[in-house]
Structure 1
Amino acid sequence: MLTTLLLVTLLGFEVKAAITQPQPREWPCPVAADLDPCVCTTDADLNLYLDCSDITSTSQLQDVFTRTIFPFSDFMDLTINPAESHNEFTKILAGTFGLVTFQNILISNTLIDTIEEEALVYSHSTLGNLEVSNNNLQEFPFETLYLFEVLRELRMANNKLNSLPDIQSETLILLDLSGNLGLTLTPLTFGGATHIEEIWLREMGLTVDTGNAITDVPKDVFANNLYLSYLDLSGNEFSFTIIESFINPPTSTLDFVGLNGNDIVNVHPLSITGLNDVGARVQLRNNKVTELCEDDWSQLMEQLDTDNSLDLRDNPLRCGCDTQWLVQRVDVMKKINNQTACATGNLLHDLPADWFVSHCPDETCSINRKK
C-alpha cells in the first residue's frame, strides 16, 4: 500500500510538473505555441525571420503580437504571403506589431486595404525594404515616408491606391506603383524623392497631354530626379505624339526607358532627354509608330551610343521616304533593334539605300506631328 501511494504521488508530481514547466522554444525565437499561426525561424547567424502567412484575420494578427513575449524584438523579415486570401484580414492597424521591428516586409496576395499610419512606427529606423503587392490596398501613409531612415525600396504594385501625395524621402532608391489604376501625377510627385534611381509605373492607365485632354502625367514629372536611371512606363495609354519634357531628368543618368505597349505614334524631339551617354536603352515596342522622320527622331538617336539600343519592333512602320536618312546612315541605323520590321514584314536594316536615293530626292513625312 505504501509503495502504491508513493507511486501515485510521484506520478501526480510529474503530471503537475509537465503542466507548469515553460514550453520549449528554439532560441532565440519566442515560444512557438504563443506565436501560432506565425512561425519564427533563424539562419546560421541567428537572424530572426517571422512568417505570418497563415493569419486569417486582422484581430488574429493583433492577438499574436499581444500575447507573445519576444526575447528579442529585432527581426530581419516579416512575410505575409498566403496561399489564399481571407475576407476578415483586411487591415494592418496601428500598434499591431508592438515593439517588434523589421528590416524587410513582404505582404502579398491578401485582401488588405489599409495600413494605418502608426502600424510600422517602431520600424522607422530599421525598415529597408517594404513590398505590399497584389493586395486591395487603398490607404497607405505615404506622408510618413520621410520618417523611415533607411528605406530603400518601396514596392506597391497591383493594388487599388486612389491617391498619391508627393513623395518625400532622402533614402528611397526604388519605387514601384505599377498596376494601380486611377493615380494622377503632378510635377512634384517624385521631386522630394531626392535619391530615387528606379521608378516603375507599368499598366496604370496613365495618359499624357496631347493638347486637348486631361492628363495623368504632365510635363516635368521627372525633372528634379538627379539620379534616375531606370524608368518603366510600359502598358499605359500614352497616344499620339508624346510631349516635350515628358522624360527629362536634369542630368544624363537614364540607362533604361520603357514605353512598350502604349499607343504612341510619334515623339517630340525633346520628349526623352537625360539619357546616359554610355549604354542607354529605349524601348518603344508594340506601339503605333508609322514614320521615323529625322526632325522628330534624330535627337533621341543622338543620345544613344550602342547597337540595338532603340527597340521599335512590332510597330506598323511604313518604311517610306521618311526612313531614307536612316538607310543612308549606317551609324544611326545600327542603333535600332536589328529585328525591327516594316509593316510589310521587311527588316528595316535590309532596306536598299540606293533605292531610296532614286525614289526619295527629299525626305517627306506625311504624319501630322504635334510639337
Structure 2
Amino acid sequence: MKLFSKVIVFIVCLGLVLAAEDDQNKNNTSNATGEDGQPKADAPTEEKELPNGLCSTCNCDAAKKLFDCSSAKLYKLFNMTEWLTLNASGVATDTMLLDRNGIASVPQFPLLDVKILDLSHNNISTIAKKAFIGLSNLEVLDLSYNMLTSNNLIPEIFEGSYNPDEYLPLEKLRVLRLGNNQLHSLDQDLFEHMPNLEELSLVSNVFKVIDRLSETAIASVKTLRSLDLSYMELLSIPEYIFNAPQGLEYLNLTGNLLTTIPEALIYATHLKWLSLDENPIDNIQGDHVFPTLKSLEYLSLSYITPLKMIGRGAFSNLEGLKEVHICNNPEFSFFHADAFVRSDPDEPTRKIWPLVKKLYLHNNNLSTLDAQTLARWDNMDVIDMRVNPWNCDCQNQWLVETLLPQIEKTTPEIMNNVVCATPKQMAGVSMVDLEHKHSQMRCVDKYGNNPQNDGALLIGLLIGLLAGIPLTAALIMIYKRGCFGLVRRGPADFSRAFYSRATNDDY
C-alpha cells in the first residue's frame, strides 16, 4: 500500500513538471511571434548573431560604408578567413582605410566591394601579383609614403579580371598615388592594366631624370587628366611626354630644378592648371616664354628665389588666364607692361589682354606696376600687392587712384602692408592713407630727387641774385669814386694820373 502511494505521488509530480515546461515553451513562442503567428520584428535572428572579428578590431561604420583601420598598429594584413567575417557580416564597405600602420607586404585581397583603398604611410616594400584582382570596383588606390622601389613595382601587381576587350584590366581604377616612395624609374608597361587611369602622383620620388622607360610609361596613359611630378629634382622634362595624354588638365612641376619654361608644354594643349613654384628660373623673357596654351586658367610662379624679371610677351600665349600667382620671389623687381598683351590676329594693331580675375603679387621686390599690364582692373576679384617696396611717385599715382579703391571694394582684408619705400621722405607711408586723403604723388627726376622740393631753394637763390646786383654795382661805384673821399690817394696815384709816355716825334 505504501509503495502504491509513492507511485501515485511520483506520477503527480512528473505531471506538474511537464505542465510547467509546456507553459514556458508557450510563453517563449508568444514572445517571439505576434498574434498572427508571424515572427516579431525584434526577434533575434541567426544572421545578426554572426561573429565579425574585423569590426571588433577596426571601426565599421555601416552608414558611411566605411571600414577604418587607420593607426591600428597592424603589421600585416588579415588572412582570407578573417576577411570572410567582414563579408559575412553584411557590412557594405565603399572606403577601406588601412593607412598609418606598419604593414610591410600586401597579399592578394579577397572579393570585396571596395571603391577607395588607402594603404599609405606604411612600410610596404612588396606587393603580391594580382593583389587587387578581387577589388573589381576599385577606383582610388593610395600607395604613397611607403618603401616601394623601381624593382618591386611591376605591372603584374595591377592585373585585374579577364576582359575580352582589355588585357586583364582594373578597369574602374581612376586614381593611383605613388608619391613619397623610393622610385627612380618606372617600368614601361606599369600602367598597361589601367585603361581608364586619370590621376597619377609621383611626388617626392627622386628621379632627377625621367628616363626613356618612365617617359614611355607616362606617355602611354592616354586618359591621364592630372599628373603630379613635384619635388622629383627633375632637371628637364622630356619633349614628347605630353604628346599622347591629350586630355591632361592638371600639371604640378613644383620643387624641381628647371631653369627655363619646359618646351614639352607645347603638347599639353588642354592644360588648365600649372605650377612651376620653387624652380630656379631667373627670368621669363625673349625665347624663354610660355608656348601657346589657350586653355590654361591657373598659373603659379611663386617661391622662385632667382626670378628677377618677367619680360615682354611672357604670358601673351596664355589667352585664357584667370588666376595668376607670382608671390614670395625676393628678387623679382621688373614686370614688363606688355607681359600679358598680344596682338589680335585679325587686326594686328589691336591689343588683347586675358581676362584675369585674380592676381597675386605679394612679397616680391616690385617698386612699380604699369597701368597697362592688364586692361580691366575694375573687373578683378582679387589684387594682392602687399609687402613690396613701392615707389610713391607720379608714375604710381594710378595705384592710389584706381587699384586701391578696387581692392577696398573686393578684398579689404588684404589692404594692409601696402607701403611706400621710396623716395626717402615717403618711406613707411601707407598707400591706403594716401588713397583716403586723395593725395597727389610727385614725380622724381632721373637722380631720384623730387624737383618740387627745390622750389624754396630756387626762390631763395633768385631773391639773393636780385638783391645782389644793385649791391654789387654800388660797391663798384664806391670803389671808383674813392669811397666818397674816405680813401685818400697818395702822390704816386696823382703822378701816374698826369703822366703820359712820350712818342718818338717828341725827340
**Residue 147 of structure 2 corresponds to residue 111 of structure 1:** yes
1:105 shift after superposition: 1.5
Q: Which residue matches 1:49?
A: 96
Contact 2:394–2:440 (Cα < 8 Å) also in 1: no
TM-score of the pair, normalised by structure 2: 0.49
Match of 2:259 among 188, 207, 216: 207
Q: Aligned in 2, Cα 1:214/1:276: closer, same or farther, shift over 3 Å?
A: closer
Aligned to 2:495: none
Per-residue CA shift, 1:82-114, capped at 9, x if unaligned?
Answer: 3xx54xx44668655456453102223323343
Residue of structure 2 equivalent to 1:302: 375
Greater per-residue strand proportion: 1
Asked if residue 71 in structure 1 is aligned to residue 121 in structure 2, the reply is: no
Distance 2:90 2:429 in 1: 56
- C-alpha deviations, 1:211-239, integer Å up to 9, x for none? xx988998465634x43333334323451
Of the three residues 250, 273, 280, the one matched with 1:198 is 250
| Cα displacement (A) at 1:154 | 2.9
Instruction: Check the 8 A contact 2:377/2:403 in 1, yes or no.
Output: no
RMSD: 4.7
What's 2:360 paired with?
283
Shift of residue 138, structure 1, vs aligned partner: 2.6
Q: Which runs of 5+ in 1 are unaligned?
A: 1-22, 365-371
Match of 2:332 among 261, 264, 267: 264
Superposed CA deviations along residues 140-176 of structure 1, whole A, max 9, x for unmatched, are 4588669844333333333323234496455444333
Is 1:199–1:232's contact at 8 Å kept on the other side of the alignment?
A: no
Q: 2:386 aligns with which of 293, 308, 313?
A: 313
Cα distance in structure 1, aligned partners of 2:392 and 2:147: 49
Tell me which residue corresponds to 1:346: 429
Q: Which residue of 2 aligns with 1:81?
A: 120
Q: Distance in 2 between matches of 1:220 and 1:145?
A: 33
1:230 is aligned with what amino acid? Y
- Residue 133 of structure 1 is matched in structure 2 by 179
Query: Is 2:269 the counterpart of 1:230?
Result: no
Where is the helix percentage greater, Structure 1 or Structure 2? 2
| Larger-Rg structure | 2
Question: 1:236 is matched by which residue type in structure 2?
Answer: I
Give the aligned partner of residue 120 of structure 1.
158
Deviations 1:337-365 (A, max 9, x none): 53333344433344366532x43599x9x
Conserved? CA contact 1:176–1:200, under 8 Å: yes
Aligned to 1:20: none
CA distance in 2, matches of 1:128, 1:348: 50
Contact kept, 8 Å, 1:208 with 1:238, in 2: the verdict is no
For structure 2, which runs of at least 5 residues remain unmatched after alignment?
1-50, 56-64, 68-76, 161-168, 262-279, 343-352, 409-413, 422-426, 449-507
- Deviation per CA, 1:270-323: give whole Å up to 9, x if none: 54579863x62122322222332x2xx623x32555456232222233334441
Q: Compared with structure 1, are the counterparts of its residues 250 and 289 closer, same or farther at alpha carbon in structure 2 (3 Å cutoff)? A: closer
- The answer on whether the counterparts of 1:208 and 1:242 sit within 8 Å (CA) in structure 2 is no
Amino acid at match of 1:51: L
- Change beyond 3 A, Cα 1:112–1:207: same
**What percentage of aligned pairs have identical amino acids?**
19
Match status 1:334 vs 2:412: no
Distance of 2:431 and 2:90 partners within structure 1: 54
Question: Is this contact kept in 2: 1:175–1:200, CA < 8 A?
Answer: yes
1:182 counterpart (228, 234, 243): 234
Using CA pairs under 8 Å that are at least 6 residues apart, name the structure with larger relative contact order, 1 or 2. Answer: 1
Match of 1:152 in 2: 198
1:9-40 CA distances to partner (integer Å, 9 max, x unpaired)?
Answer: xxxxxxxxxxxxxx9788999x9433889x97
